């Protein structure tokens, strides 16, 4: 954030139920959380925003672009297969995403993980370059039972996310940049996801891989991600083709 704040107004958002944001009884689908972000944008009187999201944050970013293209100058979607978009089905049987089905079971993850979430999270932290301070931050962010429940509810909302995404068929000219870590199980799907976005009406989609990272690209390669945001979030970005952007990330 300090680096990006030298040239942008930078706002990072705790999605509903996480960290400093209030947990609610429902509303954890990406389209509704995109509306949360839109309300924040309106309250802060921001104009022509650029939105970047990783994993579930990427689902929210895509929903934001779909719902509010007129106020969005671009978006970056990092390391995830979007529900219903081309490529999503291919990852369902991959052992790396076993946790999705587990998190979607009503009530069971809360029962098994509550009070043990630091140990449970440590499994996932092993796949990224997290500092002790970052680990402590994320453990604290999900410490309350309501926060942990909110996180699992985001996974249970995936069918609603798929239904929303399937309905997005009109043309959308907001520039999108789609990337994954080069060591991520999603890396091989990036071209197909891009084609799926184009089939859904997105007219300007570029792709790339972030070298030296797996899934947690921000923790693994923070400077590379900041570099991408600086390049693509500029009101007048340098336009590259897919091959060029991939070779320079």
pLDDT of residue 235: 74
Positions of E strands within 101-170: none
Q: What is the CATH number of the domain that holds 185?
A: 3.40.50.1820
Report the number of distinct structural domains present in the chain: 1
* Closest to 16 (Cα-Cα) out of 136, 157, 124, 132: 157
The whole domain housing 211 covers: 4-248
Token pair of 13, please?
Answer: 């958002």
244 near 206, Cβ under 8 Å? no
Q: Among 208, 210, 206, which residue's Cα sits nearest to residue 175?
A: 206
pLDDT of res. 161: 95
DSSP 8-state symbol, 177:
E
DSSP symbol at 101: H
Q: What's the confidence (pLDDT) of residue 129?
A: 96
Residues in CB range of 117: below 8 A, 6 or more apart? 139, 142, 143, 148
- Under-70 pLDDT residues of the chain: 86-90, 236-249
pLDDT reported for residue 36: 98
CB 230 within 8 A of CB 4: yes
């Amino acid at each position: 954030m300090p680096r990006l704040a030298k040239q942008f107004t930078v706002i990072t958002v705790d999605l509903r139920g996480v960290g400093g944001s209030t947990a609610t009884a429902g509303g954890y689908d990406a389209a509704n959380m995109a509306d949360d972000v839109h309300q924040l944008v309106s309250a802060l009187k921001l104009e022509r925003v650029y939105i970047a999201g990783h994993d579930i944050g990427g689902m929210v970013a895509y929903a934001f672009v779909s719902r509010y293209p007129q106020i969005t100058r671009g978006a970056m979607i990092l390391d995830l297969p979007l529900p219903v978009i081309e490529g999503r089905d291919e990852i369902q049987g991959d052992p790396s995403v076993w946790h999705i089905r587990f998190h979607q079971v009503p009530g069971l993850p809360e029962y098994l993980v509550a009070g043990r979430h630091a140990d449970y999270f440590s499994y996932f932290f092993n796949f990224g370059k997290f500092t002790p301070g970052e680990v402590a931050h994320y453990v604290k962010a999900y410490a309350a039972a309501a926060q942990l429940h909110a996180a699992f509810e985001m996974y249970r909302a995936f069918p609603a996310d798929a239904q929303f995404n399937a309905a997005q068929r009109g043309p959308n000219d907001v520039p999108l940049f789609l990337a994954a870590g080069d060591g991520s199980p999603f890396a091989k799907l990036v071209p197909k996801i891009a084609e799926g976005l184009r089939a859904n009406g997105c007219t300007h989609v570029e792709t790339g891989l972030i070298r030296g990272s797996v899934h947690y690209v921000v923790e693994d390669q923070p400077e590379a991600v900041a570099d991408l945001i600086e390049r693509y979030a500029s009101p007048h970005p340098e336009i590259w083709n897919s091959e060029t952007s991939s070779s320079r990330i």
